[in-house]
A = this chain, B = another copy of it.
Amino acid sequence: MLVQKSVKKNVKGSVRQANYGKIIKAAVTVFATKGYQGATVQEVAEKAGLPKANVLYYFKSKQGIYEAVLSDILSLWNSSFDHATAQDDPAVALSRYIREKLEISRTYPEASKIFAMEMIKGAEQLSDEIKAGMVSWFQSRIAIIQQWIQDGKMANVDPAMLMFQIWATTQHYADFSAQISILKDGKMLNKKGFQDVGDYLCRSILSSCGLKVPE
C-alpha cells in the first residue's frame, strides 16, 4: 500500500515508521482475505515478522489497526476526477476516471476488497468524518456533471446513477476477481485484460452519456 516506501535508517522515529509500515501492509492482506472478525492479531504479527505484543505496542487494539488500514486505503481513492471542473470536457474527465478506478482495482485489489466488505456490513466502523467527506465529495462531483448536462455537453443522465455505475463496474474486477477467475478457466486477468475492460467500459458508459471516447 502507500504507507512509507523506503525508510532511511537512523532517522528520528524511523523504527516506529518502519514498523507501522510493516504492520499496515501485513494487516491489509489479512483483513482482505479474512475480513475484520476473521483476522487475528497473531496472523498480522507473523506476516509483519514481529511478536504479537509488539504489534499491540504500536496499535493499541485490533480495532486500532483496522482504522489505520481504512484511512490508509482511503488515500488511494484520490483521483484526477477530484479536480474536474464544469469547464472540462466530460468525455476526457469521465474516461480518465474510469481508467484510474480500474487501475486501482488492478493494482490494489486488497484495498478495494476491504472497503467493499466494510460497506456490505453496513459501514459501521467508518468514522463520521470519513462519511461526511464522502458526501461532500459526491455532491460536488454531482454538481459538475449536472452543469455539463445543462451546458449541453452530455446527455441527460442521472449523475448519481452514473457514478454508481462507474464504481460498480470498475470495483467489480477487484472484488469479484475470484469469480472471474473461476469463470475464465482459472486464469487471472492480466494487464492487457484490464486494458480491454477499460476500453469496453469507456465505450459503453460514455456512449450512454452521448459521448465519444477521446483518443
Contact = CB atoms under 8 A, between A and B. Distances in A.
A4 interface: no
Query: Which 3 A-B pairs rank lowest in CB-CB distance, beginning with the nearest?
Result: A37-B38, A168-B172, A204-B208
A184 to B, nearest CB: 7
A178 B37 contact: no
B131 A182 contact: yes
Interface residues of A, number: 48
A203 interface: yes
Interface string A127-162: 000010011001000000000000000000110110
Nearest to A142: B183
23 contacts: A33-B122, A34-B37, A35-B35, A35-B37, A113-B120, A116-B120, A116-B175, A116-B176, A119-B175, A119-B178, A119-B179, A120-B176, A135-B182, A138-B183, A157-B204, A160-B184, A164-B169, A165-B201, A168-B169, A168-B172, A203-B208, A204-B204, A204-B205
A92 B113 CA distance: 34
A59 interface: no
A121 B161 contact: no
Contact of A208 (B123, B131, B158, B208): B208
Number of copies: 2
A175 B38 contact: no
Contact of A183 (B37, B116, B134): B134
Contacts of A204: 157, 165, 204-205, 208
A36 B179 CA distance: 18
A129 to B, nearest CB: 13
B200 A180 contact: no
Given A204-B205, A204-B208, A121 B172 contact: no
A167 interface: yes
A68 interface: no
Contact of A196 (B158, B175, B180, B205): B158
A130 B113 CA distance: 23
